[in-house]
Amino acid sequence: MEEKKELVEFAVTARKYKTTLTKKYLNRKVYIQPNPFEVESHIPGTIISISVKEGDTVKEGQELLTLEAMKMLNKVTMPFDGKIKKISVTEGERIPKGHIMIELED
Q: What is the pLDDT of residues 5-52, one digit of tens each?
A: 788 888 888 899 888 888 898 899 888 999 999 999 999 999 999 999
CATH number of the domain at 76, please.
Answer: 2.40.50.100
Domain residue limits at 43? 38-105
| Average confidence (pLDDT) over 46-69 | 96
Q: Given this model, what pLDDT does residue 2 score? A: 62
In a domain, 100, yes or no: yes
Q: Structurally, how many domains does the chain consist of?
A: 1
| Average confidence (pLDDT) over 77-102 | 96
In 3D space, the residue among 55, 31, 42, 44 whose CA is nearest the CA of residue 94 turns out to be 44
pTM, 2 dp: 0.74
In a domain, 23, yes or no: no
| DSSP labels, 62-92 | -EEEEEEETTEEEEEE-SSSEEEEEE---TT
In a domain, 29, yes or no: no
Residues in the chain, total: 106
Residue 84 scores a pLDDT above 90: yes
Residues 73, 51: contact at Cβ < 8 Å? no
**Residue 72 bridge partners (DSSP):** 69
In a domain, 89, yes or no: yes
In a domain, 22, yes or no: no
